[in-house]
Amino acid sequence: MPECKIEANKKICNCSYEPCSRKGLCCDCLHYHRKMGQLPACYFPDDVEKTYDRSIENFIRIYQNR
Ligand code: SF4
């Protein structure tokens, strides 16, 4: 079984929501946001990520306008 890369993942994670227990656990992070109809923070540029609007609609909107 492969080892969890949580510490390495945390180094490249751009999520600014510090209290989240899923930080660095990319598998849990992805499943959580997918269930909510969202994408994880790393799909968004830093300035947009900080708004915490992780909806798929927001993702499409920002990439249509950039
Ligand atoms: S993107 Fe969401 S689930 Fe992932 S670390 Fe940030 S707040 Fe937590």
Query: For the segment 37-63, what is each residue's pLDDT rounded down to a tens digit?
Result: 999 999 999 999 999 999 999 999 999
> Which residues lie with the beta carbon below 6 Å from any ligand 1 atom?
15, 17, 20, 22-23, 29, 32-33, 40-41
Q: Is 52 left (phi over 0), alpha (psi -120 to 50) or beta?
A: left
Which residues pair with residue 55 across a beta bridge?
38
Domain ranges (residues) in the chain: 6-64
H/E element, 29: helix 26-35
- The pLDDT mean for the chain works out to 96
Contacts of 57 (CB under 8 A, 6+ apart): none
